[in-house]
Amino acid sequence: MLLSACSTYFRDLFKENPCQHPVIISRDVKFDDLVALVDFMYHGEVNVVREQLSSFLTTAEITPLPLVSAVTTTLYTFI
């Protein structure tokens, strides 16, 4: 439900695949980065340690979530 609300990509994906418990496989995504992205979707903010920032931003870029993409662009301007 959360992914559908945050992204038209996921909403369309779930409409096309009406499985009650869908499995989404994302290559090259670390578990810690995925947890941080879900925290961001729920809370609107997330804190990541400096060592994780690069992989988190990479994951955010390949994740089709418009809000995360906007934040990624903003963060890159500050780095």
Is pLDDT larger for residue 53 or for residue 4?
Answer: 53
Full-prediction pTM beyond 0.85?
no
Buried (b) or exposed (e) across 41-77, using 16+ Cβ within 10 A? beeeebebeeeeeebbbebbeebebeebeebbeeeee
**47 touches 40 (CB < 8 A):** no
Tell me the pLDDT band of 74, cut-offs 50, 70 and 90.
Answer: low
Residue type present at position 52: Q
Give the mean model confidence (pLDDT) for residues 52-61.
83
